[in-house]
Amino acid sequence: MKKAYVFPGQGSQYPGMAKDLYESNEVARMMLERANEILGFRITDIMFEGTAEELKQTRVTQPAIFLHSVVMARCLQDFTPDMVAGHSLGEFSALVAAGAIDFEDGLKLVSVRAEAMQKACEMNPGSMAAVLALETAKVEEICSACEGTVIPANYNCEGQIVISGEKEAVEKACIRMKEAGAKRALPLPVGGAFHSPLMEPARAELAEGIEKTVFRTPTCPIYQNVTALPSTDPEEIKRNLLAQLTAPVRWTQSVRNMAADGAEEFIELGPGTVLQGLISKILR
């Protein structure tokens, strides 16, 4: 039986995350304390005792979720993935878990990404919205027809697509989605228009961070968000990581491709159970 390990992205954080691991596992405690040193602030204090609002800041959220995920993978006694994938930020967790990047380098890179995206959000304010129960082709058609910048950003599962872009364009698209028969078109409480052209200002900083990071051949294929296809080539992985910044997360397609390639068991590592819910809908 082939095992696929999957890692969640932004939105899975919760107050108290990873506290149980810190208190019960020596390896987890060492990794989390090392993370405090690397980041230059005690992220564990925010993870364990912070409010939901404090955890929502991109510069905190991304490293916090990354840490929870990779620490869980490191603490598993039988971590032998046949393939891995991560949703958005989770792709970085997956790469560390599969040995393509060292833990410390991965944390530094995630921190660079978070800071760069935070700046891009401030330069180009935008928003995101979840569109429920509308065909994929219709969502794409409406986004293409709207004035301004709005694109499908997350193909989460059939009937659940997140759109992203300029606030006004997203609002207009939501109205048209409902008119076209969407069950709901809900604005999301996020800090910006992730996975859209509005993230372009973060590209140079992230590209520099990726080039400074040592990438190796992972121990198993990683199914990347941009292509939804497996890769073990470090150069290709780097290109796709950078492209992911402004391109959609093709999660539905990634999960289907993993299943087609033999994955029979999907194991989510990290805070929450969001991906379990999506996978159960994709692979009924």
Active site residues: 88, 195
- The side-by-side arrangement of strands in the sheet containing 230-231 is 230-231, 222-223, 83-86, 2-7, 263-268
Which residues, listed in sequence order, are joined to residue 263 by a DSSP beta bridge?
Answer: 2
**Cα–Cα separations (whole angstroms), residue 51 to 3, 46, 103, 217, 232:** 35, 7, 26, 38, 38
Residue 7: both structure tokens together: 């890692």
* Closest by Cα among 141, 138, 117, 24 to 63: 117
CB atoms near residue 229 (< 10 Å): 16
Q: What three-state secondary structure class fits 15?
A: coil
Residue 249: both structure tokens together: 């997360």
- The answer to whether residues 44 and 71 touch, using CB atoms and an 8 Å cutoff, is no
Supply the DSSP string of 156-210, one letter for each residue.
EETTEEEEEE-HHHHHHHHHHHHHTT-SEEEE---SS-TTSGGGGGGHHHHHHHH
Measured distance CA(148)–CA(183) in Å, rounded: 24
- How many residues does this entry show for the chain? 284
